Amino acid sequence: MSKSPFVFKSAATLGFYNGFFADSARTLQTAIERVPASSIFYHLHFALFRRHFTTSEFINDFARWTRSTLGDEPLAELLAAVEPLDFTAIEDMRQALVRTIGDYVGRMEYTPSVGFKQRLCFQNCQSFIFPIGLTADTLGSFVAASQKAPAQSIFYHFVVAPLLEGKRDNDFTLWLRAEGYDKAAQKVQRLSPYSTDLYELGRRIGDVLQ
């Protein structure tokens, strides 16, 4: 039995307009430079959870808006290529986005803009973390619990918690490794919430550990 059982948690995230907006690539760059960190999280990471309610192939809000509203496919693809898992700090991701847009608009003589109703309105967010009533103290109970855990919990442990604590790995990988399940930890570490349907990720964790 584990000395430190894994406690499954979730986070309820509320978004609210922060007064910043973008109506062109240049104003998008400026806004990203200035908005609070929670806004970057909301549009880049929390968008992963919200994408299941949209039909866009792009995950993050910046790429989605740039393509569907601004109509700039090349820039949208560049923004979509910014890989969130490459960073453990939101400020590093902010700088990567700013550089990407800056390099792009620096090569343009003219940057188109959209009207008032089409602009991107930036959101801040606040997350409330709570246990969901599932725990695990063995590999078997961990597999069973991960398959029962809702998508919100999987999202929290794969995306939210690592960002909050500046960790390179997700909570599941860290717990498995700490408990001596090194091979299991390696298998879970290879899973990415950005390339796998979030609602299927819990099932996939169980599948790779069976």
- Residues 157, 179 share a domain: yes
User: Is a pLDDT exceeding 90 seen at residue 156?
Assistant: yes
Same domain, 102 and 153: no
Our count of domains for the chain comes to 2
63 neighbors 77 (Cβ within 8 angstroms): yes
pLDDT of 16 over the 90 cut: yes
Domain stops at, among 124, 141, 168:
124
* Domain identity same for 75 and 89: yes
The reply to whether 203 and 118 lie within a common domain is no
| pLDDT tens digit sequence for 65-95 | 999 999 999 999 999 998 887 888 899 999 9
The pLDDT assigned to 55 comes to: 46
Residue 6 has pLDDT above 70, yes or no: yes
Q: Looking at residue 1, what DSSP letter applies?
A: -
**Same domain? 88 vs 30:** yes
Q: How confident is the model at residue 210 (pLDDT cuts 50, 70, 90)?
A: confident
Task: State the Cα–Cα distance between residues 70 and 81, nearest whole angstrom.
Answer: 18
Same domain, 170 and 200: yes
Q: Which domain holds residue 40?
A: 19-124
Residues 24 and 106 in one domain: yes
In DSSP notation, 84-115 reads GGG-SSHHHHHHHHHHHHHHHHTT-S---B--
In-domain check, residue 195:
yes
**1 — pLDDT class (breaks 50, 70, 90):** low
- Kindly list the distances between the CA atom of residue 74 and the CA atoms of 13, 63, 80, 121, 176, in Å, as whole numbers in the listed order: 31, 10, 10, 22, 40
Phi-psi region of 166 (alpha: psi -120 to 50; beta: other; left: phi over 0): left
What span, in angstroms and rounded, lies between the C-alpha atoms of 206 and 210? 6
Question: In the listed set 62, 89, 124, which residue is the last one of a domain according to the structure?
Answer: 124
* Claim to verify: residue 145 and residue 120 sit in the same structural domain: no
Residue 153 scores a pLDDT above 80: yes
Is residue 62 located within the same domain as residue 153? no
Q: Output the pTM of the full model.
A: 0.86
pLDDT digits (tens, 9 = 90+) for 37-50: 999 999 998 887 77
Would you say residue 1 lies in a domain? no
pLDDT band at residue 51 under the 50/70/90 scheme: low
Identify whether residues 25 and 119 lie together within a single domain: yes
